[in-house]
């Protein structure tokens, strides 16, 4: 098996390797941006429902990584490409962890409250009458 991996690896030139690495890096970075923005919007919907302050700095972090992400497809130097990819994806992964861990309780509470409001509305009672 190791010989097969070596033979496959030796059949690529540096230019081919960097080309496909740039394609893969560009696609993964685009997926990271979409995932982080989707999670931010979802957690902000829960936060808005609960009346909690919305995420703003997280959007700024994503916005700061976007200019770096634009340069990923254009670097031929493997070291520069690697560091550039790290500079973009590490903040994204840290944001994903922060959103999943930090807002898990808010998401569960919001979903619970929404389901209770739905049950109350089905029973003829509104959320406003429940407050009074």
**Structural domain boundaries enclosing 93:** 14-131
Q: Which residues contact 14 (CB under 8 A, 6 or more apart)?
A: 78
User: Is 93 a member of any domain?
Assistant: yes
Are 35 and 62 in contact by the 8 Å Cβ rule? The answer is no
User: Is 82 a member of any domain?
Assistant: yes
How many domains is the chain built from? 1
**Tokens encoding 83:** 């560091």
pTM, full prediction: 0.74
Pairwise CA distance, residues 21 & 1, whole Å: 23
Question: 10-19, 81-90, 110-119 — which one is most confidently predicted on average?
Answer: 81-90
User: Is 2 a member of any domain?
Assistant: no
First to last CA, the chain: 71
pLDDT tens for residues 77-105?
Answer: 888 888 988 999 999 999 999 998 989 99
User: Is 7 a member of any domain?
Assistant: no
pLDDT tens for residues 20-65?
Answer: 888 888 899 999 999 999 999 999 999 998 999 999 999 999 999 9
């Amino acid at each position: 098996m190791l010989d097969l991996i070596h033979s496959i690896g030796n059949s690529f030139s540096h230019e081919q390797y960097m080309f496909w690495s740039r394609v893969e890096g560009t696609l993964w970075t685009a997926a990271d941006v979409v995932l982080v923005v989707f999670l931010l919007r979802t957690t902000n919907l829960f936060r808005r429902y609960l009346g909690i302050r919305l995420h703003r700095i997280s959007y700024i972090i994503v916005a700061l990584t976007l200019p770096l992400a634009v340069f990923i497809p254009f670097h031929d130097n493997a070291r520069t490409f690697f560091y550039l990819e790290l500079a973009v994806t590490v903040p994204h992964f840290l944001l994903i962890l922060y959103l999943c861990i930090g807002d898990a309780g808010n998401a569960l509470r919001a979903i619970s409250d929404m389901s209770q409001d739905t049950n109350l509305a089905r029973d003829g009672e509104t959320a406003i009458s429940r407050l009074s």
